[in-house]
Amino acid sequence: MIIQLKPGITTTDKETILARLSAIGYKATEVHTQKAFYMVCIGKNEFDLRLIGSLPGVEDVHRVSESYKLVSRKWKVGESGIDLGDGVRIGNGAFSLMAGPCSIESEEQVRSVAKHLAGNNIRIMRGGVFKPRSSPYAFRGMGLEGLKMFSSVCREHGIKIVTEVMQVSQISEMLDYVDVFQVGARNSQNFNLLDELGRVDKPILLKRGMSGTVDELLQSAEYIFSAGNERLMLCERGIRSYETAYRNTFDVNAIAVLKEKSHLPVIADPSHGIGLREHVPAIALAATAAGADGVIYEVHEKPEEALSDAQQTLNFSESAQMIEKVRRLKEILT
Ligand code: PEP
Ligand code: MN
């Protein structure tokens, strides 16, 4: 059960609610987010919801039986949207394209991609500076100095930044230079990181783990939300399967099911989802048709020279064609 409390509820009213919860055998966790104050209550006993709903200080109350609660659509019927400022919005009717290289490599590279995005009216650029690589000898990113450069170039172009944070100690140093923190597939169940990102006043793009179920992704999202950060979105980026013909198996089913189960925006990552440049546009279209609130993909001026994920990165002309098709499809769908 979730209870949303009225803003400025008095201590006496709060204590009355807690006493009633304890009387019906429910345990409450208080959750303060940027937007509201909730009590997430766990218990098994049957009771009349009005016993809680009628108490002073209660704004709203709902039964949610899933293991994830605040991110569930059973709690919030409408769509959640994220406002990044300067007219850049994600979800709740706003369809977003986010694109950029797998890794930030140089100022020249960032400038060329930023120009491509600005010319195609894309307001959010992706790019990793802390790169999780399977091999320790592969390019592992430009680090904080790269992020500072990335951020200053993007600000010049009015473009927002989404970039991966790999560990708790990086959060504070990255904070001033980031618009959206990305949690990568490998960290999807790093609960310490998720908890800490719940205390940050920046939106989060949470990727599904390589072998994570839909339910596990939603529970990871619940970590962030219940630690205080409601501004988050989910990202389907493909899962490991027995198939070896492509890098990952993009789970288009997950887009439709996540949209049904959660009020959070759902973003598709077809680049990692299939891992093959020639098929990225088809998967982006499939995800859009399945109801995604946006697409994040990899683009580079010279993909063949990219320091990571070259084989799944589009060049500017492929990117421009894909942007047009995805936008046309989105128009047909709405
Ligand atoms: C990335 O976005 O470049 C990345 C490493 O993604 P994932 O965590 O989905 O593998
Ligand atoms: Mn990548």
Q: Which atom of ligand 1 is nearest to the CA of 269?
A: 9
- Give the number of the ligand closest to the Cα of residue 98: 1
Q: What is the pLDDT of residues 115-154, one digit of tens each?
A: 999 999 999 999 999 999 999 999 999 999 999 999 999 9
DSSP-derived secondary structure letter, 242:
S
Q: Where are the domains of the chain?
A: 2-62, 81-333
Distances (CA, A) of 29 to 23, 47, 53, 137, 197: 16, 19, 17, 44, 18
Residue type, 40: V
CA of 130 to the centre of ligand 1 (A): 11
Q: How confident is the prediction for the chain on average, in pLDDT?
A: 97
DSSP-derived secondary structure letter, 234:
E
- Give the number of the ligand closest to the Cα of residue 134: 1
Report yes or no: 126 and 162 within 8 Å, Cβ to Cβ: yes
Confidence at 87, pLDDT banded by 50, 70, 90: very high
Q: What is the pLDDT of residues 20-36, one digit of tens each?
A: 999 999 999 999 999 99
Q: Is the pLDDT of residue 92 over 90?
A: yes
Give the environment of ion ligand 2: residues with CB less than 5 A.
102, 309
Please tell me the CATH code under which domain 2-62 is placed: 3.30.70.1140
Query: Is residue 296 within a helix (H) or strand (E), and if so which, with residue range?
Result: strand 294-298
Q: Tell me, what's the pLDDT at 258?
A: 98
Q: What is the pLDDT of residues 234-256, one digit of tens each?
A: 999 999 999 999 999 999 999 99
Report yes or no: 322 and 120 within 8 Å, Cβ to Cβ: no
Question: Which sign does the torsion angle of CA 79, 80, 82, 87 carry?
Answer: positive
130: burial class by Cβ within 10 Å (0-12, 13-18, 19+)?
Answer: buried
Which token pair is 16?
A: 């009355």
Q: Which atom of ligand 1 is nearest to the CA of 103?
A: 3
The backbone torsions φ and ψ at residue 66, rounded to the nearest 5 degrees and listed phi first, read -65, 165
CA of 184 to the centre of ligand 2 (A): 10
Q: How many angstroms separate the CA atoms of 281 and 297, rounded?
A: 9
Confidence at 77, pLDDT banded by 50, 70, 90: confident
Confidence at 71, pLDDT banded by 50, 70, 90: very high
Question: Which sign does the torsion angle of CA 104, 107, 109, 110 carry?
Answer: positive
Distances (CA, A) of 103 to 27, 72, 176, 218: 45, 33, 19, 27
Q: Which atom of ligand 1 is nearest to the CA of 238?
A: 9
Question: Residue 100: CB within 6 Å of ligand 1?
Answer: no
Q: pTM (2 decimals)?
A: 0.97
Which residues is 235 bridged to in the sheet? 207, 267
Q: Is the pLDDT of residue 233 over 90?
A: yes
Q: What is the pLDDT of residues 275-302, one digit of tens each?
A: 999 999 999 999 999 999 999 999 999 9
CA of 102 to the centre of ligand 2 (A): 4
Q: How many angstroms separate the CA atoms of 93 and 299, rounded?
A: 25
Mean pLDDT of 218-227: 98
Q: Is the pLDDT of residue 224 over 90?
A: yes
Identify which of 145, 95, 147 has the alpha carbon closest to the alpha carbon of residue 123.
Answer: 95
Closest residue by Cα to atom 1, ligand 1, is 102
DSSP-assigned states of every residue in 197-231: HTTSSS-EEEEPPTT--HHHHHHHHHHHHHTT---
Integer-rounded Cα radius of gyration of the chain: 21
Fold held by 81-333: TIM Barrel (3.20.20)
Q: How many angstroms separate the CA atoms of 130 and 102, rounded?
A: 11
Decide if 2-62 and 81-333 have a common fold: no
Q: Tell me, what's the pLDDT at 134?
A: 95
189: burial class by Cβ within 10 Å (0-12, 13-18, 19+)?
Answer: middle
Q: What is the pLDDT of residues 175-205, one digit of tens each?
A: 999 999 999 999 999 999 999 999 999 999 9
CA of 38 to the centre of ligand 1 (A): 32
CA of 120 to the centre of ligand 2 (A): 21
